[in-house]
Structure 1
């Protein structure tokens, strides 16, 4: 049985979709660039390790936030005046939420989630 989920996200204003900390924030401008950056953030630990190193006690950070999914897939496209992001991963929502917030702050909305 697969634990993979398909997350349907939207971003109303991609031009302002940047996390609060420039050391972690996505710096791109296109939907394709965002999808590639998000996919990389879920497949590897680089973004997590940068965030962890910034914490007052890096060794006390919840190890569960370091989880990765080498098979994560992300795509994004313009839809009307927003960007729709399709994400397929077996990572739990709390990990996905953390990575999204580090990259693009509160600019995203979860529209739906289904088993993949």
Structure 2
């Protein structure tokens, strides 16, 4: 069952993770949405992160789950960006990907059934 997450990036310039090679590079609402959608549909971001860990084989494999049907829509308001994510992935997986991409510079506004 899919869930819809309403997210906010209060300052798109600050929406970067701690590791530059894993973080958002986007400029603009559509680009942020595209990069997050890619991170949810495919495991490339997760795999890059996993291989950076001290013990990659001990990383919880459930964090690498993907949803090929995930969609993300983005809308920009000055520096503020709203994202609407529709996915069947668990919230923990979504949060992990967001931490990699945006660090702590995002907010969960609401969650509804899709």
- What TM-score results when the alignment is normalised by the length of structure 1? 0.95
> For 1:81 and 1:26, how far apart are their aligned partners in 2?
15
Runs of 4 or more off by more than 6 Å in structure 1? none
Aligned pairs for 1:1-116 within 5 A: 3-79=1-77, 82-116=80-114
Q: Offset at 1:81?
A: 5.3
The Cα of 1:28 is off from its aligned counterpart by 1.7
Unaligned runs of 5+ in 2: none
Q: Deviations over 1:40-92 (max 9, x none)?
A: 00000000000000000000000100100000000110246521100000000
Structure 1 residues 81, 26: closer, same or farther in 2, change over 3 A? closer
Structure 1: tracts of 5 or more residues without a match: none
Cα deviation digits, residues 19-42 of structure 1 (max 9, x gap): 110110111211111100000000
CA shift, 1:95, in A, is 0.2
Normalised by the size of structure 2, how large is the TM-score?
0.96
How many residue pairs get matched?
Answer: 114
Shift of residue 105, structure 1, vs aligned partner: 0.7
Match of 2:24, SS state, is coil
